[in-house]
Structure 1
Amino acid sequence: MTELSAPLVRRKARLARTAQLRAAGKARHVPVTRIALGLLALIAIGVGARVMLVSDPEGGRPSSTVDIAGANPSNSVAGAVSTPGGATITADPEMFPVAQAAATAEASTAPIIDPTALDPQLLEQTEFGAIPRISGTGIRPFDVYSRPSDTPATSGGKPLVAIIVSGLGLNTEGTLDAIGKLPEEATLAFAPYGKTLERTVGAARAEGHELFLEVPLEPFDYPENDPGPDTLLTGQAPRDNLSKLFKVMSSFSGYVGLINNMGARFTASGADFGPMMEELGARGLGYLDDGSSNRSLAPQLARANRVPFGRVNAVIDANPARGPILAALADLEAEARDKGYAIGIVSALPVSVEAVTEWAKSLGERGIELVPASALMGDDS
């Protein structure tokens, strides 16, 4: 009986010890659950108070508001093509390098020019990207991005010459080489098709050059002779041509106006060319005719739409060799002496760039001043 009852005695002892330990643990128990619920309640009360007392949903993040609705209404067709509503966008100010000069210009009606600054108030957003417009205070891109210079009215009778270098932006290294060599007074015209336009245009503006955008217009032998994608064509609906124009205009920013690439047929048609020129006037841009067609209606349409206008007098590198180019530049000088000013155009060929660079070095010694194209563009506004 002693051996049979021994396990039962030990079992009772173990049960007694377990009961004692449980009693002791219960006495020392901490209410963790209640404490956690209390902390959660305090956090919820703090968040609610923050929402009710602070009315800054942006959390102090810096932002600026840019009105992209044009100050002057463009034509009705253009209004249908561009982004509807003239909405307001909010953007990080660091996205746009707005110069202090541009901010000062907004405080007065006198344009202050900074060739390295891009003013977002001179841009309108479209489905293709940003395109130029007149600011809310009436300042035009033509005024802001024109390079300061003497004009026929301020030169004191000194002959003035402008040189346009066209076809830039298509070859990156060639474009950068031309920018590095040409005098800063030379005006640069960029095609809208370059893949590195942000880089090359930025380099040109950093060097102080005045810029134009080349717009492809229909020649008489189109499509055998094709200026490129998005060419504006005769006989198309104005809406379609303006849509192409906006796409081309969104290629880069900071230009004073447009210059035609080909376009003898298009510029001779008032029904087709008229809406384009009306749009340039509404957006405060200039138009430079390359002089390739005597049938162009550009002078009349520019005057009717208050568009700053100029016309090229001579193609300098029709014969792309150093000797003929220098001879053509000498003829341009003679025309400037005779009429007071003259505009010449060359392509971005290396031989043309080298010849113009060499010629310009001693131009001042011959009593002639090299000026940007805008200085020689009439403005009836």
Structure 2
Amino acid sequence: MANDLSTPLTGRKRRAGAARPGFPVARVLFGVLLLAAGGIGARLLLVDDPEGGRPSREVAITNTRAGNDIASSVSQGPVTITADPEQFAAGAAPPASPTPATAAAPGAAGVLPDLSEETAEGPIPRISATGQTPFQAYARPVDHALVGGKPRIALVVTGLGINEQGSLQAIEQLPDAVTLGFAPYGKTLQSTVAAARAAGHEVLLEIPLEPFDFPQNDPGPHTLLTGETTQSNLDRLFWLMARFGGYAGVLNNMGARFTASGADFAPVVEELGARGLGYLDDGSSNRSLAPQLAGSNKVPFARADLLVDANPAQAAILSALGSLEAKAVENGSAIGIVSALPISVSTIAQWASELESRGVVLVPATALMK
């Protein structure tokens, strides 16, 4: 019997149970898919139907409810838009300086709520949401037409607020152009400062800063100290700021050591700038970094030229005021610091009454702070 492997395929007999060739299913399916794709392509090319064959129907929609009164009024004619407190017709130019509708009225002490921030120590100054600063809001206005090109003198009386009766007498005697500096320790600060502002004076807050001979020479509780952490000094600053409101800036009380330390003084001046306050340097230390730090933090700044009552006698005070006048004539302006001693207050009141006759104008300190 010949071997099957050597027998040609054409002559080989099929064995019983051998499978027949299979039906070409894959080829048929491929053909069906090809025909379907061709049909879809032809429809896209020949039929303009942006809805892609989705069923749709147009229905008329009617509604008798006036869901939006403002929108409904547009089709009825011109609309007038009302803005508090100004009114202007549609298409007209709005007011140049509209008053914000959310602006709050001053409080009992003349403090603007928009310029106040609540803290754990109490309310402290801040820049308002509209960008107004406490320096702008609480500075005493100056009539520049009246001042003209005349020499200007600013006087700052310091140490007020501790003695209520003495402070009220100073407020009554002094010209309203004199700036008043209040210490942060008086028991009746709120009412005394309110009286000063009601009389037309601008006010400054005195902040105690470390002198070189601290603690032998101690400016008071919550003094800002060198070597303390930044947060510790800022906490003390916030306590001082919260004693009263309505001040345009701060004035140092002592501080020769503190103002000479950039690491300690810089964060304080930065905070003053962030809160829109000015800084007046009393001029007692030539090592103070206040001019540089104020400039870099956009803090309104000035440095006093003279301590007027270093010798608290009437003749000596008048002589110092004469020197201040000469400096103002020479430089265009000058700033003097005065303590709240009764002799100093009475002498200034007498001197100021004759100042304009000599061609010199008394202005608030903020008018000379850049």
The residue that corresponds to 1:225 in the other structure is 217
What residue number does 1:301 align with?
293
1:81-96 maps to which residues of 2 (within 5 A)?
Answer: none
Which whole-Å CA distance do the structure 2 matches of 1:309 and 1:113 have between them? 26
Asked if 1:316 corresponds to 2:308, the answer is yes
Distance in 2 between residues matched to 1:206 and 1:164, nearest whole Å? 17
Partner of 1:62: none
The yes-or-no answer on 1:274 pairing with 2:266 is yes
Q: Deviations over 1:265-286 (max 9, x none)?
A: 0000000000000000000000
Structure number with higher helix proportion: 1
Structure 1 residues 107 and 292: alpha-carbon distance in aligned structure 2, compared to 1, 3 A threshold: farther
Whole-Å Cα distance in 1 between the matches of residues 319 and 101 of structure 2?
48
- Whether the 8 Å contact between 1:260 and 1:289 is mirrored in structure 2 is yes
Structure 1 residue 199: deviation in Å? 1.6
Alignment of 1:126-145 (within 5 A): 126-145=119-138
Alignment match of 1:212 (pick from 178, 191, 204): 204
User: Does structure 2 conserve the Cα–Cα contact (< 8 Å) formed by 1:310 and 1:377?
Assistant: yes
Map 1:190-209 onto structure 2 (within 5 A).
190-209=182-201
Whole-Å separation in 2 of the counterparts to 1:284 and 1:294: 25
Asked whether 1:330 is paired with 2:322, we answer yes
Q: Tell me the amino acid that sits aligned with residue 204 of structure 1.
A: A
Cα distance change on mapping 1:326 and 1:115 into 2, 3 Å: farther
Q: Distance in 2 between matches of 1:311 and 1:323?
A: 25
List per-residue Cα deviations over 1:326-346 (Å, max 9, x = no partner): 010011000000000000010
TM-score (norm 1): 0.69
Q: Does the 8 A contact of 2:225 with 2:258 survive in 1? A: yes
SS of alignment partner, residue 296 of structure 1 = coil
Q: Distance in 2 between matches of 1:296 and 1:335?
A: 22
CA distance, structure 1, for counterparts of residue 232 and residue 149 of structure 2: 46
Partner Cα distance (2:219, 2:252) in 1 = 10
Q: What letter corresponds to residue 325 of structure 1 in structure 2?
A: I
Give the ranges of 4+ consecutive aligned residues of structure 1 lying more than 4 Å apart after TM superposition.
Answer: 112-116
Residue in 2 that maps onto 1:118: 111
Q: How does 1:50-65 map to 2 (within 5 A)?
A: none
Q: Which amino acid aligns with 1:362?
A: E
Is the contact made by 1:113 and 1:146 (CA closer than 8 Å) also made in structure 2?
Answer: no
Residue 290, structure 1, aligned to residue 282, structure 2: yes
Q: Check if 1:171 corresponds to 2:163.
A: yes
Q: How does 1:245-264 map to 2 (within 5 A)?
A: 245-264=237-256
Q: Which residue of 2 aligns with 1:347?
A: 339
Name the CA shift for 1:115/1:150 in 2 (closer, same or farther; >3 Å).
farther
Is the 1:234–1:265 contact (alpha carbons within 8 Å) kept by the matching residues of 2? Answer: yes
1:34 equivalent in structure 2: none
Shift of 1:198: 1.3
Shift of 1:156: 3.0
Report the residue type matching 1:206 in the other structure. A
Aligned residues: 273
C-alpha distance after superposition, 1:5-44 (max 9, x if no partner):
xxxxxxxxxxxxxxxxxxxxxxxxxxxxxxxxxxxxxxxx
TM-score by structure 2 length? 0.71
Is residue 2:235 matched to residue 1:243? yes
Identity %: 60
Letter in structure 1 aligned against 2:287 = R
Larger Cα-atom Rg: 2
The AA in structure 2 aligned to 1:177 is: Q
Question: Is the contact between residue 109 and residue 190 of structure 2 (CA under 8 Å) also seen in structure 1?
Answer: no
- 1:265 is the counterpart of 2:275: no
Q: Point out where structure 2 has 5 or more consecutive residues left out of the alignment.
A: 1-96
Question: Paired residue for 2:153, among 153, 161, 164?
Answer: 161
Matched AA of 1:288: L
Pairwise CA RMSD of aligned residues?
2.2
Deviations 1:151-198 (A, max 9, x none): 6x9943200000000000000100000000000000000000000111
Q: Aligned AA for 1:122?
A: L
CA pair 315-240 structure 1, distance change in 2 beyond 3 A: same
d(CA) in 1 for partners of 2:253, 2:99: 33
CA drift at 1:106? 3.8
Classify 1:308/1:332 alpha carbon distance in 2 versus 1 (closer, same or farther; 3 Å). Answer: same
Listed one character per residue, the Cα deviations across residues 197-223 of structure 1 (whole Å, up to 9, x for unaligned) are 112111101101010000000000000
> Residues 359-378 of structure 1 correspond to what in structure 2 (within 5 A)?
359-378=351-370
The answer as to whether partners of 1:262 and 1:292 remain within 8 angstroms in 2 is yes
How far apart, in 1, do the equivalents of 2:99 and 2:243 lie?
Answer: 25
Cα gap change, 1:228 to 1:357, in 2 (>3 Å):
same
Paired letter, 1:179: I
Distance 2:111 2:99 in 1: 13
Unmatched 5+ residue regions in structure 1?
Answer: 1-102
SS of residue matched to 1:195? coil
Post-superposition Cα deviations, 1:72-122, rounded to whole Å, max 9, x if no partner, equal xxxxxxxxxxxxxxxxxxxxxxxxxxxxxxx9754699xx99997321010
